Structure 1
């Protein structure tokens, strides 16, 4: 059913925006609720909002003096540093305004608008890219500002400000107009404590995952392996015929060098012998719902790699969707991106997301029943994110309008089988990492919910909610 919203000419906010979406009744209702509370506009709580200076891809994957933060590294109230870029101190000095300071609020400027976090001072020496906006608060409770802006209220008021070019954008001028509720200091202080506790847990989670990665690479014989990409090399004509490929990248010797190193220590098998592979399905937007049903729909944008599936962006499918159980996801399935710039990115399906589906730009990998006792799911998860699998995907993908990989090439990926005792050590670290990250997310949800209760009901209920949640 169509929704109509009638706005007076005098209410067009200076006629700066006349698009219907901006005056969606839901957004207007949210704004009115905030204006009824004690509030201050965001512009009065910050010194400035900086659009960082642009740098033309002069960053490297090899570790250097400064971490270079891209939009993909900023998730709701956290950093995702599973993929890191760096720049030298010399280049960093050319962009002093891009340097982050403790308490800065980082907004994704284009793409995943609405994603934001607050910098705690760790890790040190970070330079922001031009895909982000940096707000410099004068308000001493900057973590509270970040938490509020990720509540339902904060997100709706942020999303309202999106304007579209080739992709969604948000402007500093709009962010400055957002009304921020000024709640009692006790609520603000306790939400900040929850935020900082969560950040410490996230740091622990990252450390555990790094330990698992190091152990895996050590067992594979790749811990100190430095790939050496050759500029010139030869390949047999017969190999080009059998591979149906003549592009130089496919025959880059480094790929065989990696496999050769691993196969000297461990048995390797073709993926098709270990996993059942099935492409994901297209589901029309007619079946999308904002209600959290039992049918989540996992797309490429929810795949983050090491930090798990981004549940904040998951679309859910209506209960009236005609279900084919052959397409549904099970706990411990692995979803892999098979087309686009993030090709090869993978995540394991947790119990909470089983019963859903993955999109047609992804594929599903499921350990064969007869091999359940040979392959531990958490080992498979981290293995697919490692250099031995990712290098094979890099080799096997085709460069057409956008990168993609065929079913045949996926099934021909070689999988190393480590001893079960080693797999278990790796899996244990992965499990602990995810459990710690889950606790961190729970604390952030408590902080957000407390603010929403204070806005919708009263401050006493908000404080009671925090206290009861902390007792659990």
Structure 2
């Protein structure tokens, strides 16, 4: 989409361009329109977002309503997905914008325009831009109506967005999110502070995992320093890394860690592995079963459970406690039946229920690496159930992936284990009410 000089939009860096939001989107739609109160149910229902739940940069859940599952299934048009851009369409907070975070499960909505992006790497970036002074003014400028201004789907779809290369958008979004969380953290006290600290620590760990095992930044840095050739599939990453190096707060990895990474890439022949099939040299091609072995959890009927010191882990996370454990911590579980895609790190000994898969053996991984690795996989796509979502461990064991150097995964463990020790301490403080 061409932008005329008269629109007085800022000049963009090389490689960026102004485009309509709809060019990034799979769809731009609106939440449920019509009466909803008769479908409200208790907290066991489906989360139902309304305009008051969407605030600039965040989704508020303290007064959220829930609707029946039948209403949710019937109202497919207003079902939300993780990474959707949410915009309040009418009312006193018209134009407030947030990104739907991960981990909320099924969500439906009303009085909200939402944009579903083709590539969710842009989600946080777009969300932050629409909350800037310029982004909000561009958004409100397309309001329609005289008596009461309204943002409709067609007008929101036409809002102009400064589009950077996808990797730059992801880096900007990741770091703004960390900074945003730190600001919120400083505004909290005591128990909320511990909760926000935990969130920030986990996000910092996610950024490190992505840098090492998804973007291969240390390998790229070593290759550039050595003057080694960069495969064509990775040339877009060269400029991204050079810009990162030029930032005033850029800090290179300590030499002893940097030396653990190779300085060359190689093509695996599997385009879905690594970046376009490229992985660090000597990080071999394999299957998930070469990294770890998943095992079905253990039966424990509710009438046989006794409250105790050990977490009971279900498909969606912890579901009470028991006076016995089955697995020594730290460990990792993910949903096997009913709820897929939720992966949980458990610091202490625990009992994984039969609705979960737990990692029985770490062949070329460890709990810290495995936790973020499983989080990065589209586990919902491995659903083999019909009526009830089910994850078959044999299917996921065959997933093609690369096997990183054990020295690198152990270095990651050494760094991240300190974060998770702090996470555990904070959680225990909150439980004690300290």
* TM-score in terms of structure 1 length: 0.37
Q: Which has the higher contact order (CA 8 A, sep 6+)?
A: 1
Larger radius of gyration between Structure 1 and Structure 2: 1
Using structure 2 for the length normalisation, give the TM-score: 0.40
Instruction: Name the one with the larger helix percent.
Output: 1
Structure with the higher strand share, 1 or 2 = 2
